[in-house]
Amino acid sequence: SYAMNLFLGYLNESVSDKVLELAPQISQVEQIRLQKKSFLKNLSEADRMQSLRSKSYLLLESLAFHVPKDCWLTSINYDVNSDRPMNVAITGMSRDRSTINEYLTNLEGDKNLDAVKLEMIQQIPSDKMNRDWKIRSNQYIGFQISIDFKGK
């Protein structure tokens, strides 16, 4: 029993000496673990931002591709951080209602878009228009469309 206690004391002292000897390496390993955790967090955020950028690009490409002649978009509002489908509000103007109907039909045919709905359509009084918009006509029709973007 005395020999066993003596051996255990020696073993504890030897282990303690080894732990002290390895302390700098253990500290480096812990520091590397923390750096790895931070790196993975940053990488995850970079992947998320790339995904959001791709989502925005696909949305804007879909909306712009379908705009007919004599139709202009004046604002596009959406929350890129929202879950799918993402609700999008489009505001624009046109010279006539048939062009707005054409735009609605074009949007309804896009596989990335869903729930296309004309929310508002109204004549824009000429005194409320920007002078640059008065190119060929004093009569324009404003519209507001809502859609759900399914996107990738």
51-86 residue pLDDT tens:
777 777 888 888 888 999 989 999 998 876 666 678
Q: How far is CA 26 from CA 17, 19, 29, 32, 152, in A?
A: 14, 9, 5, 10, 44
pLDDT above 60 for 44: yes
Average pLDDT of the chain, as a whole number: 80
Q: How far apart are CA 148 and CA 111, in angstroms?
A: 11
Sorted by sequence, the CB contacts under 8 Å of residue 56 that are 6+ apart come out as 80
115 Cβ contact list (under 8 Å, min separation 6): 85, 146, 147, 148
Do 142 and 122 touch, CB atoms closer than 8 A?
A: yes
H helix intervals, 66-144: 97-108
Which pLDDT does position 132 carry in this prediction? Answer: 53
Q: Which amino acid appears at position 44 of this protein?
A: S
For residues 142-147, give the mean pLDDT: 93
